[in-house]
Amino acid sequence: MNDSKAKYTEAQKTGYMGETAALKFLERGGFELLAKNYRSYYGEIDIIVRNEEYIVFVEVKTRSQFSVSRPSDWVDPRKQKKIIMTASIFLNENKFDLQPRFDVVEVVYDKYTKEVKHLNHIENAFIQTGDYSVF
């Protein structure tokens, strides 16, 4: 039997599970999906959604409940810069009259059952600052 998921690593499967849970959570909260896994030269944005007020660039971080750090701790300044640059490209390609925002969704799961135990949506997790601010 050919299992198409067999070609993915455990980390990729975990990331997919987290992104799926995060997207369902965001959609239940009234957000509309614009793009998933949007890629540019600079990097990737996991989820891009919108509501009446914001276009939101979402980084999803998934970790087991036994992780020694919070999932959001992995969204360091280097990662933030990549997300901001990629968001800039997205906004140049797609015109929106909405305020951009950068959120992080933390997904914590049970290592053994692979069930999501907790989601934490951090709005305005980081902001665009500095001389190269595009927003």
Which of 100, 107, 109, 135 is closest to 122 using CA atoms? 107
**For the residues 73-93, what does the mean pLDDT come to?**
93
Of all helices (H) and strands (E), which one includes residue 5? Answer: none
Q: Using the 8-state DSSP alphabet, how is residue 120 labeled?
A: E
Higher pLDDT, 4 or 118: 118
Q: Reduce the DSSP state of residue 25 to 3 states and report it.
A: helix
Determine the Cα–Cα distance for residues 87 and 48; give it in Å rounded to an integer.
9
Cα 87 vs. chain centroid, distance in angstroms? 12
Question: pLDDT value at position 135?
Answer: 47
Q: What residue ranges define each of the domains in the chain, with the CATH number in brackets? A: 16-76+88-126 (3.40.1350.10)
